[in-house]
Amino acid sequence: MIDPQLSGQNVLVTGGGANIGGAISRAFAAQGARVAVHYLAQEPPAPDGTAWAHLTPSAASAERLATEIGVAVSADLSHPDAARQLVDAVERRLGPINVLVNNAAHCESADTLDTLDAASLERHYRVNAVAPALLIAEVARRHTAGVPLCVVNISTDAARAFPGQIGYGTSKAALEALTRATALELGPREIRVNAVAPGPVQTGWMTEAIVEHSASVIPMGRVGEPSDISDAVVFLASRQARWITGQVLQVAGGHAL
């Protein structure tokens, strides 16, 4: 890319304090964007018999990153009023949002049909599908014609087929459907909506055995790095992607094709 034309734009990255979200936040800042790093101030305890599959980045990590690249904003995306409150907070501190990255996700274990219950499904869908929908609606309602606005949703290749991740995978499949539906509705308003679907990415959760096994089934022979995902997100937000909308870009080294 010669010039993605992101300098000076306001970017909100949900779950942007560390891991893939942190890489996305840093990648936009490197292009001269002003980044609002969203975080969950306090993670609730997991119910008995359940564990959160990935640790939520801490408030401290988000605050540290924000001192380097922008501002930190807290919201519990499982709450129905979180979208409005989060967008209000970003606009107060930065101004209108030009790029929304729906990266925050909920993933828990066990997540099989044998362990499935309504509460687990609701936890997955609230964060992975409902919150992104409400955030897209919120920024779209506030959009001014002629002002750049695009959305990049972070899905997963588990949305295609991944046994053992029923709530997580299906909620991310809903996010991909949301990507297409909102792209169709918002295209006439010059708002683009796309998604990136990462494959296995090492953010510290993979043991050496998992890395070795994952690499053996990925055609390109390695697991992903957070920068593999952040580069794709920046591309979809860039001027070079100005006629791309409604797409789910698989960034997985050929995994789960």
For residue 4, being part of any structural domain is answered with no
Looking at residue 61, what is its pLDDT?
Answer: 87
Query: Average pLDDT for residues 4-14, to the nearest whole number?
Result: 97
CATH number of the domain encompassing residue 231: 3.40.50.720
For residue 45, being part of any structural domain is answered with yes
For residue 27, being part of any structural domain is answered with yes
For residue 90, being part of any structural domain is answered with yes
Looking at residue 139, what is its pLDDT?
Answer: 98
What percent of the chain is modeled with pLDDT above 70? 97
Active centre residues (catalytic)? 168
DSSP string, 25-68: HHHHHHTT-EEEEEE-SSPPPPPTT-EESSPPPPHHHHHHHHHH
Range of the domain at 90: 10-251
> b vs e for 153-185, b when ≥16 Cβ sit within 10 Å of the residue's Cβ?
bbbbbbbbebeebbbbbbbbbbbbebbbebbee
For 204-239, write each residue's pLDDT tens digit.
Answer: 888 999 999 999 999 999 999 999 999 999 999 999
- Specify the pairing of strand 248-251 against strand 192-198: parallel
Count of domains in the chain? 1
For residue 2, being part of any structural domain is answered with no
pTM score, two decimals?
A: 0.94
